[in-house]
Structures are given as C-alpha cells and as structure tokens.
Structure 1
Amino acid sequence: MHAIDVHSPRDSQLVGWLPAATASEVAAAMSTARSAQPAWAATPAAERGAAVRAAAAAVRERASDLATVVETETGRPFASAREGVLAGASTLEQYAELGPVHRGRSLLGSAVDFMVPEPRGVVVALTPWNDPIAVACGLLGAALVTGNVVVHKPSERCPHTGLLLATVLRSCFPDGVLQTLVGDGEIGAALVSSAEADLVAHVGSTATGRAIAGSSTAKLLLENGGNDPLLVDDDVDPVWAAQQAALGAFTNAGQLCTSVERIYLHKAIATPFIEALCEQARTWNADPQPLVDTRHREFVHAQVADAVGAGASALVGGSIPDGPGAYYPATVLADCSGAMKVMCEETFGPVAPVQLVSSFDEGLAEACSGDYGLAATVLTGSMEHAQRAWRALPVGTVKVNAVFGGAPGGAAQPRGASGTGYGYGPELLDEMTTTKVVHLGVPNVRS
C-alpha cells in the first residue's frame, strides 16, 4: 500500500501519513460519480444552490479547524490560512446565489431558438497546496451548483486538509455527488485519463497541466504556472514601489499564483528603489514563513544559485538557513538579465529579481516576453503608459498601481503556458456547463 507522508514545513517533524487511493478505488469513485450525476442534475437549481449555501456555512463553522490543518501541512500562518478558508466560504456563497440564475439566451425569428446551459457531467478537480481551501471551494462550488458531480483530489502536500474539507462538506450533498481521493501524481493521472471524466479542472504547475492535456479527452480547465512581471516606471515614488514589489514577491513566501516573479525597474530610480526593497526584505525576514517543504526549497534555491552564478548579486537572502524546517529568506537579486531562470521561469518562492531598463518601452518589451500569460503589474503615474501597457501585455490580468486586489467576482483567462479557461468568477459557471440550442418551430397541425 502506497502511503502519502507529510512533514511539517516548520520543524520537519512527521505530521502524519495517509494511504493513497488504489486504481480500483479510482475506478469505483468515477463509476459512483457517473451513477449519481443524473439525479443531481435533475435536482432543481434552487435546491442545488441551497446545498452549496449550506456548504459555505459549514466551512465558516469549521474555519479555525481547517486553518489549523492548513498551517500544519503547508506552513501558512494561521491568520492567513483562516483568511483563505473564509475566502472559500465566500466563494461558495457567491456560487450559491449565481448558480440558480445562470441562464442562456434566446433569439426570436420565424421560430424561437433558445440556449440552455446543461452540466457537463463528471468533473475531476485537482487542487493545489498554496491556497487549498479557497481554490477547492471555487471549483467545487461552481461545478456542484450547475448540476455536475465532482471527484476531488487535493494536493499530496496537504491531504489532511483535503480530507477535512470533505468531511465538512459531505453532509451537504447526496451520496456520490462529491467524493475525495488522496493520492499523488499517479492517482491524478488515473483520474484525468478516465473515460468517465467529462471535465478536468486543474490548478497547479505548467508541467502537470501539459501532462493532463496530453492524456485526457475531457474538457480542460487549467490554471497553471506564471512568471508574472512587475514594471516600475521612473515617475513613481520608489519607496512605495518597493513596498508593492515586496508585497507581491514575499506574501505567502512567494507561493501565490500571481506573485511578482520578475521586476523591470527604470534605472532612473534604481538606487532608492533597491535600497527600499532590501529594507522591506529584511523586515519580512524578521518573521519568516517556511516554504511548503524542503524539496520545493531546493528548487527555489537552485533558481537563485543559477542567477548568482550568471552574474546576479544577492543583496539580501540567497542562502539556505541552518536549522529544521523549509525556511528560505526573502531574497533580493540585483543585476539580473533575461537569460537567468529567475527571469524566464516560475520560481514560486520569496525571490525578487531586478533587471534595470533604460526606458518604459524597454521594460514593457521585456515584460511582454516569455511563455507564460497569467498576470502582470505596472506601477506608473502616466495614464498613457498604463493604457499602452494593459493593451500590450499578453496576460489574463493586468494590474495597474496595485500588485493585489480586484473587484468581487472578478474573472480572468490565463494564456500561453499559464493555462486555459476561466478559473473563477461568474464565468466559471459557463466553463462548468455546455450549451444546448433548441429550435422551437411552429407546428403544422391538422385542422
């Protein structure tokens, strides 16, 4: 029997282990889901919405318990983990309201055509470890409220979190409508390649997303890696800009999908910006958060070492600290160039690599480069520069003068190596459904 071991990112002690699902359990779960789906699809939309609303209330009631497990398995501080749990509850509430009013369109001519959204069927949801409750609640809520059934596999880095969430939600839905399996990539591969899967929703690495695309015949919904640029113009306050850069690069130890991964800085404000960024990094290092595990820390450090070996300077951080756990310091890299891995690949750690540019146009061209297309941020006092930037950047989300934030219910489509399809917002309901067009003509009856 294959076991999934989880060690604490804080002290390296064994948190616990769980048996991975077997091939027969995967097949049984998919078969059960297929059998349960017609009845759930036939359930009135208002009742499905009420079930998802009850799920949201259950998550809120167990928010502290869920946050504690997230902290234990991933190292995310309790307060931040609880914010993620509550964000998941809010998302469930959002879909509980939006699902029952999700609708198609109609056209009136000599006859009537109307478009009816119908559930896709069996959804396989593969969710990540960096914000495990919020992401899972979004995908599960949108899928379930539209009449789909779900087989959910949480990341093997936080299986206890996934199972606790399953326990919290189980009583809100009929048997077979929501199932959770524990396992690693082998189990994920078995799920996505199942002939019973109608839609695969995956949030995680680009490498895994590409593997899914090559092995699944289902509809794919992928939010994968990013190498999000931050472009800093010469007319902004350099201290404020450094605060934004640090917030984007160091929050959750850089383990967010839309973390700042590469910085293009106008050389006119280089000195005060870099000094302020280093001071910010030292402040973040006074209360460090570990990475999810030592394996990931080794990857992050390899990215940093590659940059230093190619001529970058580690002004703050850049080395693995002594002691237990998976800690890695907030790191500022100066003198970076486009060929370095930290500038062209996803690092997913607390690293702020800075490349100087001579003009806004040069920085914009650099920010537009690369294979990823998740998000980008522009800090500028020029409306003309902001307008040119959001039009030119080949990403799903462009943020102007704020690295985080956005309107409630926002949505975006990643591009390129970052994935495909809407991963959240009201538009996620469209992804979870397929459209049937009904052409309703006038009958010619006997007189």
Structure 2
Amino acid sequence: MTELLTREAPGAIEVHDPASGELVGRVTTATEEDVTRAVAAARTGFAEWARTPAGERAASLKAAAAELRERADELAAMNNRETGKLLDEAREGVLAGAGTLDQYAELGPAHRGRSLQGGWDATDLMVPGPRGVVVALTPWNDPVAVACGLLGAALATGNVVVHKPSERCPHVGRLLTEVLTRHLPPDVLACLDGDGAVGAWLASSEDVDVIAHVGSTATGRSVAMAAARTGAKVLLENGGNDALIVDEGVDPRWAASQAALGSFANAGQICVSVERIYVHRAVAREFLEALVEEAGKRPDEVPMGPLVDQRQRDHVHEQVRDALEQGAELLAGGVPPDGPGARYPATVLSGCTPSMRVLREETFGPVAPVRVVDSFEQALSEAADDSYGLTATVLTESMSHAQRAWRELPVGTVKVNNVFGGAPAGAAHPRKASGEGFGYGPELLDEMTVTKVVHIGQPGG
C-alpha cells in the first residue's frame, strides 16, 4: 500500500512488471509547485461544479462509467503489467469501479437533507452541500475499484478532486483519470504522479477540505497529523490484520478452502485478506493437511500472481523468517523462487504464537499463519486482541458462537461462514489502527458533504 509520507526530492519513478521484471514505464513525480497549482485550479473549478445540477453531474459519471466498461481490457492489461494482478481479476476490478460510478450517479441526486418542524410561519431545513477540494490517495492492490468509489462519491456531491494514485501503478491512475476527465468540465478532476513526498504536500495544503486515504496505517497516521494542522476532514481505510476463526465441528476441508481463498487470493494483497488463523484443536490436524494441499495447487491449478514488487516480497519473507526463527513450522512454501520478478509461493505456517510478527502485523502476502487453540473462547479472545480493526471471519456451525463473534469482535465487518462476499451498498467503520469514517456505500456521500441548517422567517416578524 502507499508508503509513509515523506518529503523527498522530486524525480522519476520507474515501474517494473512484477512477473518478469521488465520495465513498464517511467513517470515524473510532481513538484511542490505542481501540487500548489493543481489545488488552486481545483479550487477554481469548484465554483462551477458545485453549482452544476446534481442530475448533470450524475450524467457525467454515467458517461464515464460507460467508457470505463468499453476500455476495461485496456485498463486491466495495464493493471496486470504494473502490479501483477491477474487479468481476470483486474478486469473485474475495472467493472466494479464502473458499477460504483453508476451507483453514485444514482444516489447523488437523491442525497438530500430534511425539513424541520418549527414555527408555522417559518421554514427550517437541513441542507447538504459539497465540502470543496478532495484529495484522494489511492492504493495499488485494487486501483480502479477503490479510486472509483472515492472519486465517484466526491464528484456526485459537487466536490472537485486531486487524485494521487499509488506510485506502484501510476499508469493505471493516469488512464483512469483520462477516462473520467473526458466527461467532466476543466479543473474538476486532476491526477498527480508521485511518491510519499507528493502525498505529504497534498495532505498539508491549507486549501484542501477532505483527505481520503486508502493504504497503510503509517501513511494514514501521517495524513491525520497533517490534517490536524490544516483542519481538513480525514477519511482513512488503513491496514488490517484480519483474523479467521475455525470452530470445532466444521468440515476441515471446507474450512481449509475458505482459509486458502482468504489468504492467497491476489497473492494475499487484498485489504480484507485473511492474515491470521485460529483453528480449534479438534479439527486442526485435518485442517492443516487440507490447507497444505490447497497451497500446493497454486499457481499451477489455481492461478496466483506475483507480489507487487521486490520490496513487498522482502517484507513478506522477513515476516516468514521471523516466525521460523521463533519456532513456527513451515508446512508449505516459504522459499522465494529463483529468477526475475517478485513471486512468492503460497505459504502455510503452523505452531504460530502471539509474539510473532506474522500474527501481530499485516503481512500482505500469500501467507497463512495458523495458531491452534483449545476453545472457541480462546480463539475469540486472541482474535480480538489486536491493534487493527478492519474485518474478521468465523467459520462455525454454532449460531451462538456466530452471534458472539459478530457482537464481540472489535472490527468494522464480521463475516460468518464466508471469507468474502456480502450484499452491495454496505458500509462499515474501521476501528483502531485500521482507520476512521465510512469509505464506501451510500454513507460515503454523507462523509463528502457538509450540512447547513437554514431558518427562513417572515420579514418584519
């Protein structure tokens, strides 16, 4: 995810294909002057866009969504080259982004305030309006879908946006911006290339009203500190260390397939990937055997792409090495392959303990660290004892255990008997180090707007 915000000298960024190591392209990072100009231009564009009827703004988003679908293969191919995301999954992300633009195009005109019941001779209203200039700092692991959520909600409600995509996929960010800006007036949406320095300049700008960040916890905290000085509103979806609980009584092979999906999909580089597994001792042996089988299917039987770059692979391998040095047992994977690229094998660790980094920190790679527990109570307690609070999953046949899990786990989303999935338009608050504010769903429109109370009395009354 996006790196810690720092103030570094501007320069060129090279992007290499994580599967082959080949150069994809170079971009020039924005300077501090570029940032100042972009924010000033957005402020100018805001005056017109905020006054544009909501239906016209919606029509612009719908047109952009249609073009996004037409160019889905082009965007997916670039995403694959820059981040290693499998083509089918990358295309699904583009289509999901187009669907999100359509969703906010529909919801934007319907986003309304309410009337208040005051005196008979007066009118009292609560009226939402755009906040102003929104900075969107978006990640590399699902760059189109995530960006479309933030950009769509901001634009639908009359805000203008300066978008900085991750430096790991700048060409995807540029292409997405190109599609959207073709359907928008000038100065409503801009894209800036760059690393943490550019993010720092944007976050510290006195003329920015909202900073929406999806990425690492370290960067999120840096953004929050910058916003505390300027007064900008902050929306953060930071890192996660999502737990999976495997209760006694469940089919261990089914549970292993769920664990493998959660741990290895997109090479473990999903915001809500399974990061740590607590399995009841009664099913642990069969579960581990089946999980090792699942790991062995990747990538030959079940496709799995590389990690985003060598830096990420080094981070993942360091956590695996730390666990092994502290007594964990390597059951599958754990050895980076020879040759170019940033591939890492699907890895299964057993004998993990709470002191290991692989259980305490976000790994963000295809690693399934397993801790065997003696009871559901122990699993629930240890899963809850974490500094993050994004999502968690429980696999159980017990309705009482499911009830306890969703009530007691201090996370934004709890999934029962499915590691992925859920109805559309849901929105949750991440907890603790995982962030703050609604980052998706209809509630994101509330985050992107500010409410004004209006009292209209009789003249001379």
Tell me whether 1:244 sits opposite 2:258 in the alignment: yes
Aligned pairs for 1:19-30 (under 5 A) are 19-30=28-39
- Which of 393, 398, 415 is the aligned partner of 1:382? 398
Counterpart in 2 of 1:283?
297
Check the 8 A contact 2:86/2:304 in 1, yes or no: no
2:129 maps to which residue? 118
Match for 1:85 among 89, 94, 100?
94
SS of equivalent to 1:285: coil
**Structure 2 SS opposite 1:337:** coil
Name the % identity. Answer: 64
In structure 1, the residue corresponding to 2:185 is in which secondary structure?
coil
Letter in 2 for 1:175: P
Secondary structure of 2:298's counterpart equals: helix
Give the Cα separation in 1 of the matches to 2:247 and 2:414. Answer: 15
Q: Which of 308, 311, 315 lines up with 1:299 in the alignment?
A: 315
Matches within 5 A, 1:313-392: 313-392=329-408
Look up the SS of the partner of 2:178 in the other structure: helix
Query: For residues 17-70 of structure 1, what are the alpha-carbon distances to aligned partners after superposition, in whole Å with 9 as ceiling and x for unaligned?
Result: 011111111110000000110110000011011111111111111100000000
SS of residue matched to 1:343: helix
Q: Using the alignment, how far apart are the partners of 1:60 and 1:139 within structure 2?
A: 18
Letter in 1 for 2:432: G
Alignment check: 8 A CA contact 1:126 1:201 kept: yes
Specify the alignment match of 1:129 in structure 2.
140
CA distance in 2, matches of 1:402, 1:443: 61
Aligned residues: 445
CA distance in 2, matches of 1:403, 1:210: 28
The amino acid of 1:365's aligned partner reads: S
AA aligned to 1:84 is G
| 1:210-251 deviation per Cα after TM superposition (whole angstroms, max 9, x unaligned) | 111111231000000000000110011111010000000000
The 2-side partners of 1:132 and 1:157 are apart by 10
- Residue equivalent to 1:266: 280
The residue that corresponds to 2:453 in the other structure is: 437
TM-score (norm 1): 0.98
Match for residue 34 of structure 1 among 43, 46, 55 = 43
- Answer yes or no: is the 8 Å Cα contact 1:421–1:431 preserved in 2: yes
Secondary structure class of the residue paired with 2:369: strand
In 1, the alpha carbon distance for the partners of 2:287 and 2:458 equals 70
Distance in 1, Cα, partners of 2:444 & 2:206: 23
> Using the alignment, how far apart are the partners of 2:321 and 2:79 within structure 1?
30
State the 1:367 CA deviation: 0.7
Deviation at 1:285, TM superposition (A): 3.4
Comparing 82-91 and 99-108, the one that deviates more: 99-108
Following superposition of structure 1 onto structure 2, how do residues 1-80 of structure 1 map, counting pairs within 5 Å? 2-80=11-89
> What is the one-letter code of the residue matched to 2:85?
R
Can you list the C-alpha shifts for 1:181-214, whole angstroms capped at 9, x where unaligned?
1000000100110011100000000000011111
Is the CA contact (8 Å cut-off) linking 2:264 and 2:304 kept in structure 1? no
1:143 match: secondary structure: helix
Establish whether residue 220 from structure 1 lines up as the match of residue 231 from structure 2.
no
Question: Aligned partners of 1:442 and 1:364: how far apart in 2?
Answer: 60
Q: Partner of 2:210 in structure 1?
A: 199
Letter in 2 for 1:363: A
Q: Which residue of 2 aligns with 1:165?
A: 176
Whole-Å separation in 2 of the counterparts to 1:272 and 1:106:
60
Deviation at 1:439, TM superposition (A): 2.2
Matched to 1:205, the amino acid is S
| Post-superposition offset of 1:105 | 2.0
Choose from 183, 187, 195 the match for 2:194: 183
Report if aligned partners of 1:192, 1:212 keep a CA contact under 8 Å in 2: yes
Tell me the alpha carbon deviations over residues 388-419 of structure 1, each in whole angstroms, 9 at most, x when there is no partner: 11000000000011000010111111010000
- Counterparts of 2:321 and 2:180, CA distance in 1: 44
With normalisation by structure 2, the TM-score equals: 0.95
Which segment is superposed worse, 129-138 or 282-291? 282-291
Unaligned runs of 5+ residues in structure 1 are: none
Contact 2:126–2:453 (8 Å) recurs in 1: yes
Q: Are the counterparts in 2 of residues 288 and 327 from structure 1 also a CA contact under 8 Å?
A: no
Q: Distance in 1 between matches of 2:459 and 2:117?
A: 16
After alignment, is 302-311 or 432-441 more displaced?
Answer: 432-441
For residue 155 of structure 1, what is the aligned residue in structure 2? Answer: 166
Contact 2:15 2:24 in 1 (8 A): yes
Distance 2:110 2:70 in 1: 27
Query: Could you say what secondary structure the match of 1:172 adopts?
Result: coil
The aligned amino acid for 1:232 is: V
**Contact residue 413 and residue 421 of structure 1 kept, 8 A:** yes
Residues in 1 aligned to 2:299 and 2:248: alpha-carbon distance in whole angstroms: 28
Partners of 1:126 and 1:153 within 8 A in 2 = yes
Name the aligned partner's letter for residue 66 of structure 1: L
Cα RMSD for the two superposed structures = 0.9
1:397 is the counterpart of 2:413: yes
CA–CA separation in structure 2 for the residues paired with 1:151 and 1:197: 9
2:247 is equivalent to residue 233 of structure 1: yes
2:4 corresponds in structure 1 to none
Q: CA deviation at 1:109?
A: 2.8
SS at 2:234's partner residue? strand
